[in-house]
Amino acid sequence: MLKAALYNIDGNQVGEIDLKNEVFGVPVHEAVIHQAVVKQMAGRRLGTHDTKTKALTRGGGRKPWRQKGTGRSRHGSTRSPIWRKGGIVFGPHPRDYSYNLPKKMRRLALKSALSAKAKEGNLFILEELKLSQPKTKDILVLLDKMKIGERTLFVTAGPDENVLKSTRNISRVKYLPLTGMSVYDVLAYQKLIMTRETLDRCEEVLTK
């Protein structure tokens, strides 16, 4: 059974905690992780790009020259796609890039990402993360005592305004509640720090 280091709020290691193999010990399915990340990035696309077709381009109502007798090719409008300043053929138009993956695939991707973190030794558990007030220094001191200098993702069981305000000024740190944790975020940050309550809820949800 895999284990993760358990720390208190002062940044001191107080032991280790067992991780469920059903969540943190599954084989890492890179293909499924790739699909989950592509799906998430596609959902972030605004899709507001747009181009004008011949019908939308201003002008071009008059036939540029008569049909026959000029020696030139026939044209009906100066806004034809083959003309400069003409309409665009098959150009992009506003669209929604988002799509869904099957629930089992989404869960497998998240389990694979969490398993990779656990196997690499980059998953850390805090007994609790309670801040009396927003203070960036408290987070920096905690990371320094835990000897973590890499990009770090904090995850708590529920939204915590004090933790959010304490971490948002640190460029290498991101905070998310458990409901907002995604495969992309788990992979984008080298270290993952969860509270004990978060770990319990995560294992409960992903083992259903």
Q: What's the confidence (pLDDT) of residue 42?
A: 96
Give the separation between CA 130 and CA 9, rounded to whole angstroms: 8
Give the separation between CA 107 and CA 116, rounded to whole angstroms: 14
What's the CATH architecture for 3-46+101-206? Answer: 3-Layer(aba) Sandwich (3.40)
Nearest to residue 22, comparing CAs of 125, 114, 85?
114
Each residue's pLDDT, cut to its tens digit, for the chain (208 residues) gives 789 999 999 999 999 999 999 999 999 999 999 999 999 999 999 999 999 999 999 998 899 999 999 999 999 999 999 999 999 999 999 999 999 999 999 999 999 999 999 999 999 999 999 898 999 999 999 999 999 999 999 999 999 999 999 999 999 999 999 999 999 999 999 999 999 999 999 999 998 7
Give the separation between CA 94 and CA 48, rounded to whole angstroms: 5
Nearest to residue 134, comparing CAs of 172, 175, 171?
175
CB 198 within 8 A of CB 157: yes
Cα torsion 175, 157, 17, 106: sign:
negative
Q: What's the confidence (pLDDT) of residue 2?
A: 87
Report domain extents, the chain.
3-46+101-206, 51-91
CA 206 to chain centre: 19
